[in-house]
Amino acid sequence: MGMGQASADKPLEATLLDAVRIEAANIALMAFQVKDNARTELALSSYALSRVNRAVFNGNEGVVSVGAGQRRAGLQ
């Protein structure tokens, strides 16, 4: 008896198997999305770190000071 025949004889099992396959596909898609988001966050954090390093080692030209603006606005 082949796999297709066993599934045809047991509709509940076939339905559950389909549900498991769909869920597995959804989990795989979520894993790819997490991987893509992690790469984006890594790229953004690398860029931010390079800006901070440049500001520390080359002076403060072109760097926005967020802390000073927050103190003036009374946010701290």
Q: Model's pTM, two decimal places?
A: 0.47
Q: What is the mean pLDDT of the chain?
A: 79
Query: Which position has the token pair 């893509």?
Result: 36
pLDDT at 50: 93
pLDDT at 59: 72
- Give Cα separations from 44 to 3, 5, 17, 24, 40 (angstroms): 48, 52, 41, 30, 6
What confidence tier does 66 reach under pLDDT thresholds 50, 70, 90? low
Q: What is the pLDDT of residues 16-32, one digit of tens each?
A: 999 999 999 999 999 99
End-to-end CA distance of the chain: 72
CB neighbour list of residue 8: distance below 8 Å, 6 or more residues apart: 14
What confidence tier does 5 reach under pLDDT thresholds 50, 70, 90? low
pLDDT at 10: 87
